Chain A
Amino acid sequence: MGDMPLPSIVRPHESLARYLTQSNHYRTQDYSVKAKAFEPPSDLRLSVFRVDGLAIEEVWELGQSNVVDRMNQPRNLYGMANIKASAVRDVGLDIDPDNIPPRHACLVGWPESKSEQMLIQHELAAKAHLVLRT
C-alpha cells in the first residue's frame, strides 16, 4: 500500500485524512464536515493519516484497518474529512507525523480553553473537504 516513503516533515500541500466513523460528523445536505469531526480527545492529539500517494481504495483500507478495526465498538467507515496541512497550520495547530502506525500523524498544539478548541474545530471543518465512501 503506497510504499512511497513519506518525508519526515509534513509539507504544506499534503493531504490529511480525518476518518469519519460517526454519521453525525458530516452533513449530506451540503456535503460539509461538522466541527465535531475535529473534536480533540482528552490528550489533545487528534488522529489523522497522511494519504498522499494512495489510491482511494487504499485510503479506505488504511482507515478500515487502522481506525475502524481497532475500535472497541463496531463502527462504520463513512468517509473522511480531507484537509491540507497548510490549513491545519493556518489555525495555529502543528502536525506530529509520529508514523505509528505507518502514515499516522497527530494534530497537536490545541489550546486548553474549550471555546478556543471549538473555534479551531469550526475553522478546520470549514476548510475540510468531505469525501464519502461509496
Chain B
Amino acid sequence: MIAVCACSSNASPLAFPQNTGVSGTAYALADYVKEIEETLLARTMTIGRHYWETRRSLAHALESLAADNWDGYGAKPVDADSCLKAIQFSRLLPMDIPVPETEVDTDGEVRFEWYRSPRQVLSVAVGGDGRLAYAGLFGASRIHGTEYFSDQLPNTILDSIRRVYS
C-alpha cells in the first residue's frame, strides 16, 4: 500500500511539518500520525508547549467568550476561523521561543503577546484568513504591520518575537 502524503518543510527545523496529503490513505495516515504526535506531545510537554498552551487557552476562550458582548462593550464572540489559524500558528513556533500569552480581541480574533517589560513587548493578532497584525515596542523603537502566513511563519514575525528577549 502506498500512501501519498506530502509534508511541506518549514523554515525552522524545530517547527512541526504541515501535512498536505492528497489521497484518502494519506488522510488516514495523517490522522494516525496526528494521534502519535499528540500522544508524544502529551508525554513531552516541552516539545509541543506552544500548541498545548494555545489549545488550552482557546478551549477556555471558546467556552467563556462564545456569546456576543462578552466584555460588556459590544465584543464579538471568539472567531472559530481565527482560533484554527491561531492553533496552526502555535504549531509553527520554534521551540526556543517562549510560550506567549493568549487573549481574544473584541473583534473575535486571537491575539498572542510576548512580554518582557512594558517597552519590550510584541503582540500578534491572527485573522481567520491567516492575516497577522502585529505591533511591538522595543525600547524607544516601535513597529507595526501586517503579514500573512500559510505553512510557515514570516521571518518578520519570528525576528520580532526574538527581539523581545534579545
A residues in contact (CB < 8 Å) with B: 21-22, 24, 27, 30, 32-36, 39, 41-43, 47, 70-73, 75, 113-116, 118-119, 121-123, 125-126
Give the contacts of B1-33 with A (CB-CB under 8 A). Answer: none
Point out the residues of chain A lying under 8 angstroms from B135, CB to CB: 115-116, 118-119, 121-122
Among A32, A70, A122, A126, find the residue whose CB has the most chain B CB atoms closer than 10 A.
A122
Point out the residues of chain B lying under 8 angstroms from A70, CB to CB: 72
* Complex contact B72–A75 (CB within 8 A): yes
Point out the residues of chain B lying under 8 angstroms from A33, CB to CB: 118
Could you say which of B70, B75, B115, B144 contacts A118, with CB atoms under 8 Å apart?
B144
Instruction: Give the 6 A-B residue pairs with the shortest CB-CB distance, closest first.
Output: A71-B72, A118-B135, A119-B135, A126-B118, A115-B144, A114-B133
Point out the residues of chain B lying under 8 angstroms from A42, CB to CB: 74, 76, 106-107
Point out the residues of chain A lying under 8 angstroms from B103, CB to CB: 24, 36
Given contacts A33-B118, A36-B111, A121-B135, 20 further A-B contacts (CB under 8 A): A32-B117, A35-B123, A39-B106, A42-B74, A47-B73, A70-B72, A72-B69, A113-B146, A114-B125, A115-B144, A116-B144, A118-B123, A118-B134, A119-B135, A119-B136, A122-B121, A122-B142, A123-B142, A126-B119, A126-B121
CA distance in complex: A50, B110 (Å):
31
Q: Is the interface of A mostly helix, strand, loop or mixed?
A: mixed
Provided the pairs A32-B118, A36-B111, A72-B69 are in contact, do residues A126 and B137 lie with their beta carbons within 8 angstroms? yes
B residues in contact (CB < 8 Å) with A: 69-76, 103, 105-107, 111, 113, 115, 117-119, 121, 123, 125, 133-137, 142-146
* Complex contact A35–B121 (CB within 8 A): yes
Point out the residues of chain A lying under 8 angstroms from B137, CB to CB: 119, 122-123, 126
Could you say which of B69, B115, B119, B144 contacts A119, with CB atoms under 8 Å apart?
B144
Question: Which partner residue on chain B sits nearest A42 by CB separation?
Answer: B74
Provided the pairs A115-B135, A126-B119, A126-B137 are in contact, do residues A22 and B71 lie with their beta carbons within 8 angstroms? yes
* Complex contact A115–B145 (CB within 8 A): yes
CA distance in complex: A61, B44 (Å):
49
Point out the residues of chain A lying under 8 angstroms from B111, CB to CB: 36
* Complex contact B72–A73 (CB within 8 A): yes
CA distance in complex: A118, B71 (Å):
18
CA distance in complex: A114, B123 (Å):
11
CA distance in complex: A118, B145 (Å):
10
